[in-house]
Amino acid sequence: MASVAAQFATRGKKCVAIGRNYAAHIKELNNATPTEPFFFLKPTSSYALSADGKVEIPQGITCHHEVELGVIIGKGGRDITAAQALDHVAGYVRDPPFLSPGVRAYGFDTFCPVGQFIPKDKVQDPHNLRLWYKVNGEVRQNDNTSLMLYRIPELIEHVSSIMTLEEGDLILTGTPKGVSRVVAGDKIEAGLESTDGTLLDHLEHVVKDREGGYHFKANLLERTDANARTWADAEFEDARERRRHGWRDTA
């Protein structure tokens, strides 16, 4: 019987998404560099598991792509030290998540099209892998995981100091530079390769408009011309809301 970790997409309990973990990506968004790992949670219902492999964009949403290395927890724990962290890893996954800036839309159905489970022993060094992403044949992202600001042991140590990690949990380690918009009809390819060119995982899917369901309507916080919004706009508005409510900006 397959382990929970190997079946993380259907049996895992949570998805922890690390943000701002590549310097060039932080720069392109005009963000501050975090002084500790910065993360948020995505629902596991956002995993794209449909047979047609399509990602659905809700009405009124401006959608951007990313590509990330995912770490799948094999042995749960709390307050895991960085020195012991890799002992808790069962494997890896290539993940090209989607999000909609400024709308808190990290959890839409199909916005996290996970790849296949890659056992840990198939990856010699998770900090020396090539992540790439293409839209209609054009390379949008192409970088090495060696550029992570916080490496996997540090991420596991930090997250497990806040919440218990369980078998099957997925930690997305952040996206490199090159994030850009995708629209219905775009054909997507994403890949994860070792430095010798061995393809560890590859995914192809099509983006389409969702029929029915949620329909985003701009309000005073969200600019009327959503298509013209930039990542800087979204982050500025988020920061403004945090200040208005007295929330602390952990980044």
pLDDT single digits (tens) 193-249: 998 999 999 999 899 999 999 888 766 444 444 444 444 455 544 544 444 545 544
Q: What is the pTM of this model?
A: 0.86
User: And the tokens for 244?
Assistant: 């208005």
Name the residue among 89, 191, 105 with its Cα closest to residue 140: 191
Of 59-63, 104-108, 143-147, 235-239, the one with minimum mean pLDDT is 235-239
Res 93: pLDDT: 97
- E strand intervals along the chain: 15-19, 38-42, 55-57, 63-65, 68-73, 89-95, 98-99, 118-119, 129-135, 138-144, 170-172, 181-182, 187-194, 199-209
- Cα of first residue to Cα of last residue in the chain, in angstroms, is 42
Phi, psi of 185 (to 5 degrees): 100, -20
* Mean pLDDT of all residues in 174-197: 95
Q: Tens digit of pLDDT for each residue in 33-88?
A: 999 999 999 999 999 887 666 899 999 888 999 999 999 999 999 999 999 999 99
Alpha carbons 25 and 19: distance in angstroms, whole number: 10
